[in-house]
Structure 1
């Protein structure tokens, strides 16, 4: 029986990214991870999940595409849902960065609009695959929350809190409630396919959220 890897750390160097790197954990026993090999696995997992028909994404297919053995992949990730979730986070950190420097309102506007544009492409397909894998594997989305959503939510909350401290964001509600109102609405409308989810909607949603009661 494989020992579960509970670390939230993605095994690649994120120091050059706009996002803050995930918290470091104690090194695992055994051979150290190859950053190049880990990046190859994450890239292959994301690419496999982005295919038009990704219902049969397997560790075998990811191993073949990455050139990294199944044994090694399972040493780094306990199962496919953890790997796909980490691959999704790895990609979004690079393609949809959220900066903690500069104007917070501008940063949220830019990030949310870019996030929406990515959802309308392959990133949206990958998100659905990741959610489906989590629900199929464990019956809930706890892995998705622990390895992806909590990290992004904490980052967004920090940006919004900075805007509240500066007075740029008038709302006095919790920054995490404001984050949830913006990104939860985008997520909900995207996953369930409600019409009207466009750039104008997102910009108006942000303004109403930040300036509302």
Structure 2
């Protein structure tokens, strides 16, 4: 017999309200003075409801950003490396420029101050995005567009390394032309 937790059961509707409220507040508050209280008020739930789902504010933000990334940057149907990778990277740049870049910097800052959250950020966001890109690259290997001897993890690091470097330092644009340049770089390196 399993024990049940005291209190009300988790509500999927409340969870979605919290994630939506969090994402809206992230995009409204450029100073990122986000609080559990503000999220609860906007979502129309109590703080205990939030703590039933997430251990910390950082975890709520992580799930809200990941949910948006999944909807804004879906895995495209594979056509060719040039087309598929280009589409994936253009969507990524568009999302970054529509406010998600600031949200990613915010998450990265939170991860620098909390080792356990850094692990959750890596396991739940970074690894998921890496797997998505690696699946595109593997399809390119399968269609003989990338050499089977090419280390796909290195290509993933090249792409995301360039993106994170520009995102965190801000020394270069993250736009459609950057997406095209990154795509061409992967094609050249993959041979």
Q: TM-score, normalised by structure 2?
A: 0.85
RMSD: 2.2
CA distance change for structure 1 residues 140 and 85 in 2, over 3 Å: closer, same or farther? closer
Equivalent in the alignment of 1:123:
100
Partner residue, 1:102: 78
Structure 1 CA distance for aligned equivalents of residues 57 and 138 of structure 2: 35
Task: Summarize deviations over 1:83-128 as a string: whole Å, max 9, x none.
Answer: 11111100110111123x3325222111111111221221112112
| Higher Cα radius of gyration | 2
| Maintained 8 Å contact 1:170/1:210 | no
Q: What is aligned with 2:113?
A: 136
> Compared with structure 1, are the counterparts of its residues 182 and 35 closer, same or farther at alpha carbon in structure 2 (3 Å cutoff)?
same
2:188 aligned partner? 211
Q: Which runs of 5 or more structure 1 residues have no equivalent in the other structure?
A: 1-27
| 2:20 aligned to which of 43, 67, 74 | 43
More helix by percentage: 2
Tell me the residue number matched to 1:86: 63
Q: Find runs of 4+ consecutive structure 1 residues off by over 6 angstroms.
A: none
Contact 1:170 1:211 in 2 (8 A): no
What does residue range 16-35 of structure 1 map to in structure 2 within 5 Å?
29-30=4-5, 32-35=9-12
TM-score by length of 1: 0.77
CA–CA distance in 2 between the matches of 1:58 and 1:104?
A: 44
Partner of residue 193 from structure 1, selected from 170, 173, 183: 170
- Aligned partners of 2:110 and 2:52: how far apart in 1? 19
- Is the CA contact 1:48–1:57 (under 8 Å) kept in the aligned structure 2? yes
* Partner SS for 1:195: coil
Q: Provide the residue aligned with 1:66 in structure 2.
A: 43
> Are 2:26 and 2:34, in contact at CA under 8 Å, matched by a contact in 1?
yes
Q: Is the Cα–Cα contact under 8 Å of residues 163 and 174 in structure 2 kept in the other structure?
A: yes
Unaligned runs of 5+ in 2: none
